[in-house]
Amino acid sequence: MKIAKASLVKPGENLLYGVFALTVSYFVFAYSGRFGQVSILLYYAVWLPLVLVDYRRALGNYVKYVWIFAFAIFALLSVFWSAAPGTTARAGVQYLTHVICALIAMRALDVKTLTLGSVTGAGVVLAYSMLFGVYHFDPLDGTVSFVGAFDSKNQLGFYASLAVFFCFSAVILLKQRRVWLPVCGVVGLLAAYCLYASQSATSVLTTAAVLGLTVGMQVFSLLPPKSRKLLFIAATIFGTITVIAAVYGGAIDSVLGAFGKDSTLTGRTYLWQQGIEAARASPVIGIGYQAYWVRGFSEAERLWEEFFIGSRGGFHFHNTYIETMVELGAVGLLLLTGLFLSGLFGHLKRVLTQQHGFESLVLFGISALLFVRSFAEIDVIFPYQIGSFLLYITAGKLTLPAPQSASTPTPMFSGDAMQPLAHPLAAGSVYPYR
C-alpha cells in the first residue's frame, strides 16, 4: 500500500501522523531516563525519516536558520575549552540533533496539529505518572509531594502546565469540538490534579500567569490592530507599576507562604549565588557545555551533598540564565537570550498586528510559558526535553509566513482575514521550499 507524502509531511494534511509523532516525543522526553537509549532512537525514528520522504519540505533552507542554530553550535564548539570534553562532545551532538528534529517538526506540523498532539502527548505522560507514580519527601522544606514517574515534582508540574495550556488552546483558541472536547476535558482535569498533588509553586504560578496573559491578549482581538497596540502598551505600563508595588508591599512573601515557601525559595537563592560565583571562573565563554555537574568535580560534589542529591545527577542551578552563564559564559547567554526574545516578541508582534492570529497566540503562549519558567527552572538547554523542543518550534515558525486566514479556524469575533507578516529578523517572507 502506497502512503501519500502529504499524509506525513504536509502541514494541515498529516494530523494523524503528527499527533502520533508528538505523543511519542512527549513520552520519550518525559521517561527516557527510565527506558534508556532505545526510547531516544524511537524519537529520532519519528522525525528524521521525514527527510527521506520529502527533504525539501522537511529541511528547507538552513541558511535562514543560522540565528536559530547559533546557540546549539556554540555549545558543541565549547568542547575545545571544556573542563569535561567527553561530556561536552556527547551532549553537544545530542543537543544539535535534537534541534534538527525540532525544526523538522516545525516545518511538518501546523499549529492545530501541534496543539492536539501536545494534548495527547501530555495526557499520556500524566496518565503514566498517575499509574506508576510515587511520593517523595523533600528534606529541604519537609514536605511530601507527588512526583509521578519523575524524579522531581517540578517536572511533573511542567507537563501538567503544558497540558492545561494546550487544552485551553484547543478548546478556546482553536475552537476544537467533537471528539477533542471530551479528550481535552479529561486531560485538563488530570493536569489540574497533578498540579495540585505535585505542590510545584513554579508550575502553578506560571500556568496561572500565562493563561491570564493569553486570555488578555485574546480580549485584545476585539479591537483593530492599531488600537490593540496602544492598549497593550498601556496595559504593560500599568502591569509593571502594579508588580513593583506588589513586590514592595510584601505580596511576594504572601504568595510564597501560600505554597509553604519562604523568601529563600527553598534554597534556590543560595544556589543562584553559588552559580554566579562559579560563572566568574570563565565569564566570557564558560567552562563548557554540561561541564559543571560532572561526578568527581569538587564543587558539583559539594552542592550535591548540601542539597541531599544522593543520585549525584539531574541537578542544576534552577535558573536558565545562570546555568548558561556558568557553562557557556556571556557569549552563550547572549545567543540563548536572543533566541528567547526573538520567539517571544516575534509572535507578540504577529498577535498585535493580525486581525485574528489565534495560531500566533498559541505560539506566543508557549514562548511566554517557557520564558517565565526560565527564571526558576532549566527547560530549554538540554537535549531530549520538551521545553527545548517547543522553544525551537516556536522560534522556527517565525521563519515561515504568518498563518493565512484560510487555515485559521472560525474566530470568536468577526473581522477581516489575517495578512501574512514577514519574520522580524528577515528581509522578506520565507517560503517552504526556499
DSSP per-residue codes, 188-214: HHHHHHHHHHHT-HHHHHHHHHHHHHH
Cα 126 from Cα 146, distance rounded (Å): 12
At 309, list the grid cell.
542529591
Q: According to the model, what pLDDT value does residue 323 have?
A: 94
User: Which amino acid type is present at position 19?
Assistant: V
pLDDT tens readout for residues 414-434: 333 333 334 444 433 333 333
Q: According to the model, what pLDDT value does residue 169 have?
A: 93
pLDDT tens readout for residues 14-45: 899 999 999 999 999 999 988 888 899 999 99
How would you write the pLDDT of the chain (434 residues) with one tens digit per residue? 456 666 777 888 889 999 999 999 999 999 998 888 889 999 999 999 998 888 788 787 777 889 999 999 999 999 999 999 999 999 999 999 999 999 999 999 999 999 999 999 999 999 999 999 888 776 666 677 788 888 888 899 999 999 999 999 999 988 888 899 999 999 999 999 999 988 888 888 899 989 988 888 888 777 777 777 777 788 778 777 876 776 666 565 566 555 556 555 666 788 889 889 999 989 999 999 999 988 888 888 888 888 877 777 777 888 999 999 999 999 999 999 999 999 999 999 888 887 666 888 999 999 999 999 999 888 999 999 999 999 999 999 998 876 654 333 434 333 333 333 344 444 333 333 33
At 77, list the grid cell.
564548539
Contact 7, 16 (CB under 8 A): yes
pTM: 0.86
Cα 279 from Cα 316, distance rounded (Å): 13
Domain boundary assignment for the chain = 10-407
pLDDT tens readout for residues 387-408: 999 999 999 999 887 665 433 3
Three-state DSSP state, 313: coil
Q: According to the model, what pLDDT value does residue 257 have?
A: 59
Cα 376 from Cα 311, distance rounded (Å): 21
At 352, list the grid cell.
498585535
Give the contacts of 322 (CB within 8 A, at least 6 positions apart).
272, 275, 276, 279
Q: According to the model, what pLDDT value does residue 249 have?
A: 62
Q: According to the model, what pLDDT value does residue 4 have?
A: 66
DSSP per-residue letters across 362-384: HHHHHHHHHHHHTTT---SSSSS
Contacts 24+ apart (CB under 8 A), 138-143: 138/266, 139/308, 140/266, 140/267, 140/307, 140/308, 141/260, 141/261, 141/266, 143/199, 143/260
pLDDT tens readout for residues 359-386: 889 999 999 999 999 998 889 999 999 9
264 to each of 31, 155, 271, 320, 351, how far by Cα in Å?
30, 20, 10, 18, 37
User: Which amino acid type is present at position 106?
Assistant: M
Three-state DSSP state, 26: helix
User: Which amino acid type is present at position 49?
Assistant: P
Three-state DSSP state, 412: coil
Closest by Cα among 11, 57, 47, 7 to 359: 11
